[in-house]
Each structure stands twice: as structure tokens, then as C-alpha cells.
């Protein structure tokens, strides 16, 4: 990955993380647009729902910000110990973020299609993290890198979700928001995964010609 592309990723990740932190953690979460919409459609939200929301926000932010540093080869090669430490923190973020996300998926706006979209996102988010962890435990570095790329593409759904929300709102307004949101529940992560697979295969073809030992970012 070129440095400019990496900088775009990290800037978007930090921007969305700061926005979420301010909206949900430093201000009244009840006034956040997402929560206000939920309250309009469902007059009561349990205290447990709010706890899971806060857990999801906090740990998703951790994973979103740390992820690019674990993937960037220049940082990884010069900071092996830090890379391992950050990787462990990243995995903790994924664990709590995915479990809380799966719970929240059952209450997703937009009905069954939204619930399935966000539910599968949470499940695949956890599975890809587990695969990445299993591969590095067995010293399969290349396979570990592949699964980390897939995993972060799902982590990055936090960014693409908000991009699609803005686009759909501008194009279609709020009249059919439930339908739009049910589409976005899939659109925020499925294309990300396809891009990740394309990137992996493209880099692997390059490696075959150059004889590199790992995926360079």
C-alpha cells in the first residue's frame, strides 16, 4: 500500500473515531442521530442496549485506529514488539466489538435484512480475527497477513457505513430510510471484503514475480 493511500485510511479512521467518540461518549448519547432515530421507531431502549452500544463504540474505535498501524509494513518491520502489543489490543477490540455488535444487530433499524447484514458482519469480523490469530500462532505469517487484511476491511465498515449513509440520504432522503438502511447494512462491508480479496490476489501475483516473503503495505 502506498504511503498516501495508507494516510487516507488512517485519516478516515481517526476522523470517524473522533466523531463517534464525541457523539456517543462525550455528549449525551440520547441526542445522537442514530439513537434518536431508534427512539422514534422504538419508544424504549433498555439500559443493557446502551451498555452494549457503549462497548461497541469504544472497542470498535480501538480496532479502527490501531488496525492501519498493524498492517503498515514500514511500521511493523521497525517496531516488532510494538506490532505484537498493538495486535493483541486490536484483537481485544475485535472480540468485544463483534460480540456487542452481534447483540445490537438483533435491534438494527430496517428489519430482518438489516439484522442479517449487521449480524453476518459481526460474525465474519470475529471469524477473520480468529483465523488471523490462529495463523500467527502457527508461524504462518503470510496467511496471518491475508486474514488481517480481510479483517480490517470489515473493521473499516465503520467508515464506509457512514459514507453510504450520507450518499443515500443525499440521493433518496429519509422517505424510505428503512429500505436504504437495510441495503447499507450489506453495502458497508461486502464490497470492502471483495476489495480486500482483490488486493490480496494482486499482491500475491506481484510476490510470485519478485519472490517477496510477505505482503508489503
Contact between 13 and 67 (Cβ < 8 Å): yes
The cell 472497542 sits on which residue? 59
3-state helix, strand, coil in the chain (%, to 5): 85, 0, 15
Does residue 52 lie within any of the structural domains? yes
Instruction: Report the chain's mean pLDDT, rounded to a whole number.
Output: 86
- Structure confidence at residue 217 (pLDDT): 59
Contact 118, 105 (CB under 8 A): yes
Report the C-alpha gap between 117 and 122 in whole angstroms. Answer: 9
Q: How many CB atoms lie within 10 A of CB 134?
A: 13
Residue 46 lies in a domain: yes
Q: Is the pLDDT score of 212 beyond 70?
A: no
Q: Would 217 be classed as within a structural domain?
A: no
Mean pLDDT, range 113-117, rounded to an integer: 96
pLDDT at 94 over 80: yes
β strands within 27-111, DSSP E: none
Q: Is residue 215 part of a domain?
A: no
Cα–Cα distance for residue pair 77/80, rounded to 1 Å? 6
- Judged against a pLDDT cut of 60, whether residue 114 lies above it is answered with yes
Rounded to an integer, what distance in angstroms lies between the CA atom of residue 30 and that of residue 27?
A: 9
Question: Rounded to the nearest 10 degrees, how much is the dihedral formed by the CA atoms of 95, 98, 104, 106?
Answer: -120
Q: How many CA atoms lie within 13 A of 82 on its CB side?
A: 13
d(CA 17, CA 57): 9
Average pLDDT over residues 178-206: 91
Which comes out higher in pLDDT, residue 43 or 17? 17
**Domain-located, residue 137:** yes
Q: Is residue 216 part of a domain?
A: no
Rounded to an integer, what distance in angstroms lies between the CA atom of residue 140 and that of residue 148? 12
Instruction: Give the model confidence (pLDDT) of 58-73 as tens digits.
Output: 999 999 999 988 888 7
What pLDDT is recorded for position 164?
95
Count of domains for the chain: 1
CA distance 56 to 104: 9
Domain membership of residue 68 (yes or no) is yes
Task: Give the residue numbers spanning the domain of 80.
Answer: 3-210
Amino acid at each position: 500500500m502506498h504511503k498516501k493511500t495508507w494516510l487516507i485510511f488512517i485519516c478516515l479512521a481517526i476522523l470517524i473515531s473522533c466523531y463517534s467518540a464525541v457523539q456517543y461518549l462525550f455528549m449525551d448519547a440520547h441526542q445522537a442521530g442514530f439513537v434518536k432515530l431508534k427512539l422514534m421507531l422504538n419508544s424504549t431502549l433498555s439500559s443493557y442496549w446502551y451498555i452494549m452500544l457503549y462497548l461497541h463504540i469504544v472497542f470498535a474505535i480501538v480496532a479502527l485506529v490501531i488496525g492501519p498501524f498493524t498492517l503498515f509494513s514500514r511500521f511493523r518491520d521497525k517496531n516488532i514488539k510494538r506490532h505484537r502489543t498493538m495486535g493483541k489490543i486490536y484483537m481485544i477490540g475485535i472480540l468485544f466489538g463483534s460480540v456487542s455488535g452481534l447483540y445490537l444487530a438483533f435491534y438494527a433499524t430496517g428489519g430482518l435484512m438489516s439484522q442479517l447484514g449487521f449480524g453476518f458482519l459481526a460474525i465474519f469480523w470475529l471469524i477473520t480475527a480468529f483465523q488471523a490469530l490462529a495463523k500467527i500462532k502457527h508461524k504462518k505469517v503470510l496467511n496471518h497477513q491475508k486474514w488481517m487484511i480481510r479483517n480490517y476491511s470489515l473493521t473499516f465498515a465503520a467508515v464506509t457505513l457512514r459514507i453510504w449513509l450520507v450518499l443515500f440520504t443525499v440521493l433518496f432522503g429519509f422517505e424510505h430510510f428503512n429500505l436504504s438502511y437495510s441495503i447499507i447494512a450489506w453495502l458497508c462491508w461486502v464490497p470492502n471484503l471483495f476489495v480486500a480479496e482483490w488486493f490480496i490476489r494482486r499482491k500475491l501475483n506481484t510476490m510470485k514475480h519478485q519472490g517477496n516473503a510477505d505482503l508489503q503495505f
